[in-house]
Amino acid sequence: MNISTEGVVMDSQEFRDSKSAEKYLQAARKAEGEGDRLKAIEGFEAAYVADPDNPETCFRLAYHLDLLGEETEALHLYEQCAQHERPHVNVLMNLAVLYEDRGQYAKAERCLRQVLATDPNHPRARLFLKDVLASKAMVVDTSQERRLEKTGALLDTPVTDFDLSVRARNCLRKMNIRTLGDLLQVTEAELRSYKNFGDTSLDEIKSMLAQRGLRLGQAVEQQQSAVKQQVYSQLQQGDAEASNEMLSKPVSELALSVRARKALVLLNVQTIGDLCMKTEAELMGVKNFGITSLQEIKDRLASLGLGLRSLE
């Protein structure tokens, strides 16, 4: 994607064509409504070239480029949007995210304080500002740590704020997944197990998360140490060393049926401890894995004083 935003902005008066801009803008909105992002971007780009001063065109183009990972181009456009007398809150929030991601904490802080100047109780702006101020005080050199800080500031963002289809949003709502943090608490298998949740919605959600350096089940992975301690406590014996030995044994020692074993291979379950980390939904999300196999696994684990992980 290539759009020279700076050159166009300089000559906006000379090249403005409001009639053509409106035609392209309508086409872009239609493509956007149909979920065709690339076609929408083409329309917004054409509308932008025809009339660079239209704030809606500027923002929508920046937004879609941002989602595609074209951060530099999106940054220039968001900066242009922010120059308007009353820039939209989403412009300032998105711009703050890009600034923070580049380590430009002072600029990110200014954007967030501009939001709070008009809405002092804006929850996302307040939360993100705390993260930005902490980053300024601690100058984090590692990009991975900086990304984790950014992730922490975005966990309370409602999933409705992201560019998802109506079907995907409805499925998440019915599963009581309200925020980005909730979404990181579920795995791909758990989403697949939900009725009417198809590959298209799954790919859409995975793409949205990947664009932000996140993935399904990420929070679950980060909590594995705590979960493992809970698994230890499930053992009837109080010997910690014996507990560790039991959980480290291969699942082959459970003498499961062929169908159950195949499902565990697909989930990369190698030890009894790995199996105890899985939920019923994760197992049921595996193709051809049924209630009989699930009950078989639960019975084998129960005989050892163990069980599958349950979502709180």
φ, ψ of residue 7 to 5 degrees: the values are -65, -40
CA atoms in the 13 A half-sphere facing the CB of 279? 18
190 within 8 A of 279, measured Cβ to Cβ: yes
pLDDT number for residue 15: 52
Q: State how far the Cα of 41 lies from the Cα of 2, in Å rounded to an integer.
A: 11
Q: Hey, do 159-220 and 223-302 end up sharing a CATH topology, with the first three levels equal?
A: yes
CA distances from 224 to 135, 219, 227, 302, 308 (A): 27, 9, 5, 21, 13
Instruction: Say what the pLDDT of residue 214 is.
Output: 81
- 259-269, pLDDT tens digit by residue? 888 888 888 88
Q: Report pLDDT for 11.
A: 42
**Token duo for residue 151:** 């992730």
How would you label 42-53 residue by residue, b for 16+ Cβ within 10 Å and e otherwise? bbbbbbbbbbbe
**How far is Cα 14 from Cα 4, in angstroms, rounded to an integer?**
16
Tell the CATH superfamily of the 159-220 domain: 5' to 3' exonuclease, C-terminal subdomain (1.10.150.20)
- 11: CB partners within 8 A, 6+ apart: none
Query: Where along the chain do its domains lie?
Result: 1-87, 159-220, 223-302
The parts of the chain modelled with pLDDT lower than 70 are: 1-16, 138-154, 220-244, 311-312
* Whole-angstrom distance, CA of residue 131 vs CA of residue 176: 27
Look up the CATH superfamily of 1-87.
Tetratricopeptide repeat domain (1.25.40.10)
CA Rg value for the chain: 24
Specify the pLDDT at position 171. Answer: 84
Residues sharing a CB contact under 8 Å with residue 226, sequence separation 6 or more, in sequence order: none
* Residues 187-242: tens digit of each pLDDT: 888 888 777 778 888 888 888 888 877 888 777 666 655 555 555 555 444 455 55
Q: From the options 1.10.8.60, 3.40.309.10, 1.10.150.20, 1.20.120.430, give the CATH code of 223-302.
A: 1.10.150.20
> In this structure, how many other beta carbons lie within 10 angstroms of the beta carbon of residue 163?
16
